[in-house]
Amino acid sequence: MLQFSTTVLLKTKSVLIRDVLCNGDCRHKSDEECAHKTSLVYTYRGVFKRHVGQSEAVSEANQVVFFNRGQDYRISHPVEGGDSCLDLMIDEALLHELAPKEQIQLGEGVVFRRQRRRIDPRAQALVAMLRHGLSRNIAESLEGETLALTLVRRSLGELTSHEAGASFGRQKLVDRAKLVLSSDLARRWTLAEIAKEVGVSPVYLTQVFQQVEAIPLYRYQLRLRLARALDLLGTYDDLTMLGLDLGFSSHSHFSAAFKQTYGQTPAEFQRSAQLKPKRYAVR
């Protein structure tokens, strides 16, 4: 069985958008690879870990991960299930125009200083709109290009994204907590259970997570669940079941949380994205 597959969703002079699926059968670090062009990778399903030297970055639906041109890296899958990502490459002149100077290194080409940034809910919605629209041949090239540039701008904006700043040890602790959450999105985790899994006290965990990610742990989990809902809206005809499958207590709870986060109810998002759902089960 192939480890991964790639589907080109859009290719123009300005952007290249690919849908990359990895089954995650290989759980340990992959052989070293090298990015031939700088890209922004948005995981919309599952989770993976990217290793650059001694640095690590957990990629899940709340993050954008930067693959810099000429940079060696390895990939591992500490959680079962593999991952699915939107891989976005922007014309280098346009990317240089979009990227804030403080986020890139001086020199030839665009090289991001950090491996990742936390994106906001609007960026998550843009990822879903891009993927659904392009994969279903609903969005034309001009719309796809415009949405892609908007997504990049939002992913790099100081007011619409967040760069984690913490010691190596605290970042690793937060990453372990993210992996615990990602291992079972539908589970109604308690703080004590997560803290036990990562080996610290509940108080310390909440303090460090807030410091690193600038949002509470419970809200981070909620955004992971809702991002998974964005992914699955095109495959469910029963939105009550979708909410329950993702761990929400009721349809009203799911719908209210979705609308508060994305500005639309799940049903409204389905209609606006022109999705034609069919029954599907969360895996």
Task: Examine the domain organization and report whether 65 and 175 are in the same domain.
Answer: no
Cβ–Cβ under 8 Å, residues 10 and 144: yes
The mean per-residue pLDDT over the stretch 60-67 comes to: 97
Do 119 and 218 share a domain, yes or no? Answer: no
Domain total of the chain: 2
Regarding whether 157 and 44 lie in a shared domain, the answer is: yes
Same domain, 156 and 172: no
The answer to whether residues 41 and 145 belong to one domain is yes
Are 77 and 133 contained in the same domain? Answer: yes
- The residue behind tokens 């610290």 is 200
Range list of H helices, the chain: 92-98, 121-135, 141-156, 168-183, 191-198, 202-213, 217-232, 239-245, 251-262, 266-272
Rounded to an integer, the average pLDDT of 94-117 is 91
Q: Does the pLDDT of residue 146 top 90, yes or no?
A: yes
Are 25 and 55 part of one and the same domain?
yes
Q: Note the pLDDT of residue 276.
A: 64
One domain, residues 187 and 266? yes
Q: In this predicted structure, which of 15-29, 35-49, 62-76, 150-164 has the lowest mean pLDDT?
A: 15-29
| pLDDT for residue 1 | 42
pLDDT tier, 90 (very low <50, low <70, confident <90, very high otherwise): very high
* Share above pLDDT 90 across residues of the chain, in percent, rounded to a whole number: 83
Q: What is the pTM of this model?
A: 0.93
> Nearest to residue 47, comparing CAs of 75, 77, 7?
77
- Is residue 196 over pLDDT 60? yes
Asked if residue 119 and residue 238 are part of one domain, the reply reads no
Asked if 38 and 61 sit in the same domain, the reply is yes
Interatomic CA distance for residues 31 and 72, integer angstroms: 10
**Domain range enclosing 48:** 4-103+112-162
User: How would residue 100 be classed by pLDDT, with cut points 50, 70 and 90?
Assistant: very high
